[in-house]
Structure 1
Amino acid sequence: MNNPLLKVFTAPHGSAPFSSIKNEHFKPAFETAIDEAKKEIDKIVENPEPPSFENTVVALEFSANRLNRISSIFFNLNAAETNEEIQKIAQEVSPLLSEFSNDVRLNEALFKKIKSVFLNKDHLNLNPEESMLLEKNYKAFVRNGSNLNEDDKKILRDIDIKKSKLGLKFGENVLAETNAFELLITDQEDLSGLPEGVIEAARMLADEKKKDGWVFTLDYPSYIPFMTYADNRALREKMAKAFGARGMQNNEYDNQQNVLDIVNLRYQRAKLLGYASHAHYVLEERMAEDPDKVQSFLEKLLKKAKPAAKKEFKMLEALAKKDGIDIMQKWDGAYYSEKLKKDMFDLDDEKLKPYFKLENVIDGVFQIAGKLYDLHFEEVSNIDTYHEEVKTYEVKDSKGEFIALFYADFFPRKGKRNGAWMTSYKAQWKEGKTNSRPHISIVCNFTKPTNSKPSLLTFNEVTTLFHEFGHALHGMLANTTFPNLSGTSVYWDFVELPSQILENWCYEKEALELFARHYENKELIPMELVGKIKDSSNFLEGIATLRQLSFAMLDMSYHAHDPASIKNVKEFENDAFRETRLYPDVDINCMSTAFSHIFQGGYSAGYYSYKWAEVLDADAFEAFKEAGIFNKEVASKFKENILSKGGTEKPMVLYKRFRGKEPNVNALLKRAGLLA
């Protein structure tokens, strides 16, 4: 077979040859690349020379390069442009990858060499990055079963294979349930309250599906505006219940048993390795260190946020009562929040959207990256992509040196999961005099252009774009020697700092002036609106914080204890939500069965990271506020100590080097308006 995945990539910057890759290429490519990687491991093990940092640790770090590249291409496609065939291949290759990973981590002879180097580390004169790589490798072996006996190693292998398959199945089920639902409206009166652009998009979707009327789906750009603006409460209820029922309908896509199986397998794995729980296992490699510290952090925020959230909720209830609603339900939250925002600030997203044409916001975030970090972005057409909507950019510095390749994929499709994320198609590393630069991508689900309007973003979509672009900068500006310490390869509760800090620029007049222009007449956003955006930045912050805390607490409830006693996912979830609940429960809905962050993504025992990183970002942004949001000196310190360093040193060491002190939780509470 003439397989493009097994050839040297000769396209510009060695970019992936997407248009040449067919589904049938993937499995043979994985099998060949795994065989190659096994031979590379054998070579390390069979090397007759005494184990050294170079011939063991560095050799292992640069092994399996082709396998890593194929994996990044395949699993990114499975998230952004999947189909039944790709999903079937994922189920077939995931066990092969788990098996290979365990073959490496449970290889006694290889571990013996790593351990020999590790025990001799004080005599090796390693720099901080080399020391971190050695420590990370040694711990990876220990934390993945190298010290287990043979019987327990077999159990571990079995757990890992089952776990990888269950995670994939969980995600496939959520996507299938998301795609399966649609609301067809045929009576124009049922569109009352919806903005013109939302109605036009729904009409276009109906036309695509060859239906008369207006079609709304559970994809965010369709679902969120409907829940925010639709006056028809019964239809809001129908949409909300469909959204909340994903993975919990006792059908072929039901995730209830998958949730129980995943959390039990994670617990069994942690116990096998000598940890009290999955959370104890995970948090050993986090800034937070252990579940007690996370719980204490969450409870401290809960104590501040809950009174504010209850007060805000009463304001929403008072507004709903004017419409004859005695009991606020979940499908009323976004609708009355938007009304309250209009009442309090005379501000609504429909007034803002004309100033946030997608292309202008992209240009704005590029300009901000230029002002802060001397980066220049040029859209190019010579880079192959996996879909015609994907845009590609060459990123260069002020000297014209190539920094990164950047892919951007903005709109919902049937084969793309919901949400927004940053990912990588190729890591950055150094070898000899070569600094091999990264290929970074962001994937979003924004409001599509219609026949009469370009893509106009809600302000929430603007902050989402900035958030994911912050992650992208972390990847693009990577400047480390080793690929597994590069870019976003950092502690999970540190990874959100670069993304969340960039959101702050969305609220600043100096930044908005760069890109917020009316899409028709090019007029700059009125300063009155800028003031309102700033004033509303803390709007319903208590409720928003309580919501994030509820997710983090649910995550820790699943993972910080033995889950064997959990028999009913819905009942367990209700119990976990007791302290954070504002709305009445909906018995046919369940968060857990579609909680992809922790059951498919990498956030298990780590969802608290969003709030943890908010403390870091609030504290870090104060440094910019004090000196000026485009201050080159502060930006340079942030770039050199945070963005370029990846995981080469402990996060707190890097943070203190940037800020001169540890972060203070009061910075977040002050910004959120939760300090008395």
Structure 2
Amino acid sequence: MSADANPLLARWSTPFEAPPFADIRTEHYHQAFETALAENRAEIDTIAGNEAEPSFDNTLAALERSGRSLDQVASVFFNLAGSNTNDELQAIEREMAPILSRHHTAIYLNDALFRRVDAVFARRAELGLSPEQARVLDRYHTAFRRAGAGRPEAVKQRLAAISERLASLGTQFGQNVLKDEKAWSMRLDGEADLAGLPDFLRSASAGAAGDRGESGHVVTLSRSLIEPFLQFSARRDLRETAFKAWLARGEGGGETDNRALIAEMVALRAERARLLGYQTFAHYRLDDSMARTPEAALDLLRSVWQPARAQAERERAGLEALAAGEGDNIALQAWDWRYYAEKKRRQEFDLDEAELKPYLQLDKIIEAAFDTARRLFGITFTERKDVPVYHPDVRAFEAKDAGGASIGLFYGDYFARPSKRSGAWMSAFRSQERLNGAISPIIVNVMNFARGAEGEPTLLSFDDARTLFHEFGHGLHGLLSDVTYPLLSGTGVARDFVEFPSQLYEHWLEQPEVLQRYAVHYKTGEPMPKALLDRLLASRTFNQGFATVEYVSSALVDLEMHLLDKAEGFDAGAFETKVLGEIDMPRAMVMRHRPPHFQHVFSGEGYSSAYYSYLWSEVLDADGFDAFVETGDIFDGETARKLKQFVYAAGNRQDAAQAYRDFRGHDPKPEALLKKRGLAA
């Protein structure tokens, strides 16, 4: 096949120049990657070998203009590898992970290229750079330095080998978790096995059976199915079976066991940090973050741990008392917590998840997310049926600004399926920039909601609805981006800042004026009764001890394992037990993500040493939403204008701490976090 005939390498003529998914076949990827890699290598050689004096335009801007074909190929491939994969794509992913790592490492360890970047950096004060150009220069110089540029050749070769090996291990880790999730299901035979399950969950489990080509009902390891099963099933034995399977992902002892991979990854990360002059990998990773040091992140986690742990112990005692009152004289176990917590919530707030769900239709919550964006930022969304999609479930929407001009394309991929990894995330098929013309973004939100029965709407839990708002907050960060240089676009910010726009956006879901309009019964169309809405909002901090302990314990284990200066022979299970013992993990609780399936940390390096970021950003979002509350209008125009200017549209134009100060007028106030979670004294 000629390169010209390969759709991955072509200029796309589809609406919005979206990927022509129907034209792309598996066999296109190898040639596309080979061609794009060769093209990018030639571009880098030209930049590095330029005999002209290094300047911003012939070095930094040239780097920013390079690699466009590779970005196009990789964005399509890796988005589909996560959301609509198969054995062939996974094989290509395993093959390409080390090749791409080798390619990118070679760029940042190219001495001739670094000398040019360094020369421009040394003269930066006299070059008359714009603030955005100065930021691009700083970020490139930092990236080269952190990659090992300028170090002895033997060190660079070892750093390259480590990066290549880590890329392969991270790919294998994620694929192993997906295989375990796909392989396990539990059949529910007859009414006895369905005891306690509300209608929406029976429908979802029937749908999951249908997706697997089976009849009846099954429980799978999709979070949107297993969590409500643990919440409602009256069968303690089945809850235990399902929970233990959920807990054991990546730890089954066979070819999908991730423990040896973790040991090697932790050791390699520690070695890389030492080679770069850092005490530990956590010190290396956090040096280029808002926190700056592991100690700062640990201080935040520990400040929350004690009040959260105390609250969780009170919650556990209350659940055991409730169980005893029902004649269940048990020592509460992890597979019991959600079941009795649901009963407790019903008791304390007269609130039943099964009563709430009929008011939380997926389509209406999507509308609510869109309308919130309209009221805050003036943008609107219109569904487009003429845009190519990669799966029949996917929906495409055009985003327009207040003046009616198109600003980008948004894909929503909402339903769980075996070809999709678990969780929820935002990604981009194309990021916004102006250096190569007016490039508009193509953003995707991927969820794993349990689909409603045939002919019935999909109903969400309140946590599901919050997840949708969260990911749409990330989506807006990509869609509203307004920068010149690709490096600074959208969500390309510090890891402990990137969750701020998404977590902030969650707040609007909880506002009565949003819920009253969009939380309407799927059969009657009636809005959620005020009494039910009041009970829902009153219960916002219910079970927050559990939720906080579940999260913070995961973040602490992540940080502590990456604070090891040497990690040869690392045993993830023993280390987990040790750390949880040291922090006195409450009985009947487990980490939200145990190491063998901790994809944030080991399926790539996105949140390695940085899972604390959600809590760090929550300090920002709790204080940040108060900016609206203080005006008396949660859609205050001036506050929204500053939020858009300094956060959602700004990308990585400036330091994250300064961006927050420019929006808020002051540094964040940590007290807002404990208040939000109901943990303040």
What's the TM-score once normalised by structure 2's chain length? 0.97
User: For residues 164 and 568 of structure 2, what CA distance do their matches in structure 1 show?
Assistant: 24
* Aligned twin of 1:148: 151
* Aligned twin of 1:122: 125
* Aligned twin of 1:674: 679
Match of 2:394 among 387, 390, 394: 390
1:221 partnered with 2:234: no
Match of 1:569 among 563, 568, 572: 572
User: For residues 390 and 566 of structure 2, what CA distance do their matches in structure 1 show?
Assistant: 40
The 5 A counterparts of 1:367-516 are 367-431=371-435, 434-516=437-519
Deviation, 1:566, is 5.0
1:85 partnered with 2:69: no
* Aligned twin of 1:518: 521
CA deviations 1:238-263 (Å, max 9, x no partner) are 00011111111111110010111111
CA deviations 1:330-376 (Å, max 9, x no partner) are 10011111111101111122111111111111111111110000011
User: For residues 8 and 73 of structure 1, what CA distance do their matches in structure 2 show?
Assistant: 14
* Aligned twin of 1:634: 639
Q: Which amino acid aligns with 2:657?
A: M
Query: Helix, strand or coil for the counterpart of 2:608?
Result: coil
Structure 1: state its 5+ residue gaps: none
Match of 1:95 among 98, 106, 110: 98
The 5 A counterparts of 1:67-86 are 67-86=70-89
CA deviations 1:548-581 (Å, max 9, x no partner) are 1101101001111225255422111011222152
* Aligned twin of 1:11: 14
Query: Helix, strand or coil for the counterpart of 1:407?
Result: strand
Match of 1:582 among 581, 586, 589: 586
1:617 partnered with 2:621: yes
* Aligned twin of 2:648: 643
Query: Helix, strand or coil for the counterpart of 2:434?
Result: strand
Deviation, 1:207, is 4.3
Match of 1:234 among 203, 219, 237: 237
The answer to whether the 8 Å contact 2:267/2:570 transfers is no
The answer to whether the 8 Å contact 1:367/1:514 transfers is no
Query: Helix, strand or coil for the counterpart of 2:318?
Result: helix
Q: Which amino acid aligns with 1:407?
A: Y
CA deviations 1:258-279 (Å, max 9, x no partner) are 1111111111111111111111
* Aligned twin of 2:251: 248
Deviation, 1:585, is 7.7
CA deviations 1:415-438 (Å, max 9, x no partner) are 101110001110111137x43111
CA deviations 1:274-330 (Å, max 9, x no partner) are 111111111011000011111111111113322222212211121222342331111
Q: Which amino acid aligns with 1:134?
A: L
CA deviations 1:616-662 (Å, max 9, x no partner) are 00000001111111111111110011110011100111111111100
Q: Which amino acid aligns with 2:175?
A: E
Q: Which amino acid aligns with 1:68?
A: D
Query: Helix, strand or coil for the counterpart of 1:395?
Result: strand
Query: Helix, strand or coil for the counterpart of 1:605?
Result: coil
CA deviations 1:357-416 (Å, max 9, x no partner) are 111111111111100000110000111111010000000012111111000000011110
User: For residues 382 and 593 of structure 2, what CA distance do their matches in structure 1 show?
Assistant: 44
User: For residues 258 and 671 of structure 2, what CA distance do their matches in structure 1 show?
Assistant: 39
User: For residues 374 and 652 of structure 1, what CA distance do their matches in structure 2 show?
Assistant: 26
CA deviations 1:127-159 (Å, max 9, x no partner) are 222111101101111111112211111111111
Match of 1:158 among 157, 161, 167: 161
Q: Which amino acid aligns with 1:592?
A: P
RMSD after superposition: 1.6
Deviation, 1:221, is 2.3
Match of 2:342 among 298, 317, 338: 338
* Aligned twin of 1:664: 669
Question: 551-560 or 196-205: which moved more?
Answer: 196-205
Q: Which amino acid aligns with 1:663?
A: P
* Aligned twin of 2:333: 329
Q: Which amino acid aligns with 2:293?
A: D
Deviation, 1:208, is 4.8
CA deviations 1:179-216 (Å, max 9, x no partner) are 11110122311211001121123234334545453211
CA deviations 1:54-109 (Å, max 9, x no partner) are 11011111210110121111111111011111011011111111111121111111
Query: Helix, strand or coil for the counterpart of 1:425?
Result: strand
The answer to whether the 8 Å contact 1:546/1:580 transfers is no
User: For residues 590 and 294 of structure 1, what CA distance do their matches in structure 2 show?
Assistant: 18
Query: Helix, strand or coil for the counterpart of 1:177?
Result: helix
C-alpha change, 1:273 and 1:373, in structure 2 (3 Å) is: same
Query: Helix, strand or coil for the counterpart of 1:667?
Result: helix
The answer to whether the 8 Å contact 1:186/1:212 transfers is no
Question: 151-160 or 412-421: which moved more?
Answer: 151-160
* Aligned twin of 1:607: 611
* Aligned twin of 2:561: 558
* Aligned twin of 2:197: 194
1:265 partnered with 2:268: yes
The answer to whether the 8 Å contact 1:570/1:590 transfers is no
The answer to whether the 8 Å contact 1:317/1:327 transfers is yes
* Aligned twin of 2:356: 352
Deviation, 1:530, is 1.6
C-alpha change, 1:543 and 1:209, in structure 2 (3 Å) is: closer
Deviating above 6 A after TM superposition, structure 1's stretches of 4 or more consecutive aligned residues are none
User: For residues 611 and 59 of structure 1, what CA distance do their matches in structure 2 show?
Assistant: 37
User: For residues 178 and 139 of structure 1, what CA distance do their matches in structure 2 show?
Assistant: 39
User: For residues 68 and 640 of structure 1, what CA distance do their matches in structure 2 show?
Assistant: 27
What's the TM-score once normalised by structure 1's chain length? 0.97
Question: 324-333 or 414-423: which moved more?
Answer: 324-333
C-alpha change, 1:106 and 1:451, in structure 2 (3 Å) is: same
Query: Helix, strand or coil for the counterpart of 1:384?
Result: coil
The answer to whether the 8 Å contact 1:507/1:530 transfers is no
Q: Which amino acid aligns with 2:144?
A: F
C-alpha change, 1:483 and 1:239, in structure 2 (3 Å) is: same
Query: Helix, strand or coil for the counterpart of 1:262?
Result: helix
User: For residues 221 and 675 of structure 1, what CA distance do their matches in structure 2 show?
Assistant: 30
C-alpha change, 1:82 and 1:325, in structure 2 (3 Å) is: farther
Structure 2: state its 5+ residue gaps: none
The 5 A counterparts of 1:312-327 are 312-322=315-325, 323-327=327-331
The answer to whether the 8 Å contact 1:507/1:533 transfers is no
User: For residues 145 and 62 of structure 1, what CA distance do their matches in structure 2 show?
Assistant: 23
The answer to whether the 8 Å contact 1:547/1:580 transfers is no
User: For residues 273 and 29 of structure 1, what CA distance do their matches in structure 2 show?
Assistant: 34
